Amino acid sequence: MTKHPLEELMYPPFAGFPPEAFRFFDRLKRNNNRPWFQKHKAEYEEQVRFPMECLIATIGPRLADVAPDFEFHPRKSIFRIYRDVRFSNNKAPYKTNIAASFEPQGKRNPTGDPGLYVGIERGEIFVGGGLYMPSGEQLKSIRRSIADRPQEYLAVIGNPVFKRVLGEVMGDRLQKAPLGYPKDHEMIAHLRLKQFYVGKVLEDDACLKPRFADAVVQILTASMPFIRWLQKAL
């Protein structure tokens, strides 16, 4: 008999986010203050957070083979709704989205590790993974790997599954060649990247259906060879 972590047994299979989830965030945008949120916190927990917990509990076991070292925790993997406003001109205290990230278990790199991500917001549903804000040292390591072993990198991003599901590597780019690389380097288009992430943007109504879990599993599974390449590069 297959054993399941107790955490998984607490959640029913993902049935889709209710339409009320988007309506909650619409109202939060208009009333982004503590008194309003405290009054409506139960709606957030029921209509937004609990469906995300069910999604994570559903996809975790299905990703165990491709990402056995990654943690998919229904509660711990979800970002807090509270914004860090200390260094922001925008003092609105709450995020108007819900998102979760999944990284390898164990000791974490203080500058960030390649990971997987699911974000739900009206007009911006994104599923994917990579490094969104690599440090300077991480960029150097990644570029060195691209330049030293180009065929290894091209094999990952040229894989038919990668191309069909993800398309290409995303991220902002330098206007010029990075320091230490000639502008006519054979891999210059990739070396100019300042961010290294992959994924797919989905329509809002995609997350309202149970099969959204299937799409998330497909996208994250297709992302893992790129994540493994990043881990090796670092």
CATH number of 170's domain: 3.30.930
pLDDT digits (tens, 9 = 90+) for 22-51: 999 999 999 999 999 999 999 999 999 999
Q: Is 3 part of a structural domain of the chain? A: no
Quote the pLDDT of residue 62. 97
Q: Is 142 part of a structural domain of the chain? A: yes
Rounded Cα distance, 63 and 59, in Å: 6
Tell me the percentage of the chain whose pLDDT exceeds 90. Answer: 88
pLDDT digits (tens, 9 = 90+) for 149-199: 999 999 999 999 999 999 999 999 999 999 999 999 999 999 999 999 999
Quote the pLDDT of residue 2. 47
Q: Higher pLDDT residue, 7 or 103?
A: 103
- The number of domains in the chain is 1
Using DSSP, state whether 63 is helix, strand or coil: coil
Please enumerate, as own/partner, the contacts of 145-154 that have beta carbons within 8 Å and a separation of 24 or more: 145/229, 145/232, 145/233, 146/187, 146/190, 146/191, 146/233, 147/181, 147/185, 147/187, 147/191, 150/186, 150/187, 152/229, 153/187, 153/190, 153/229
Q: Is 226 part of a structural domain of the chain? A: yes
Burial 203-227 (b: 16+ CB within 10 A, else e): eeebbbeeebbebbbebbbbbbbbb
Quote the pLDDT of residue 4. 54
Domain span at residue 107 reads 16-233
pLDDT digits (tens, 9 = 90+) for 84-119: 888 888 889 999 999 999 999 875 665 578 999 999
Q: Is 4 part of a structural domain of the chain? A: no
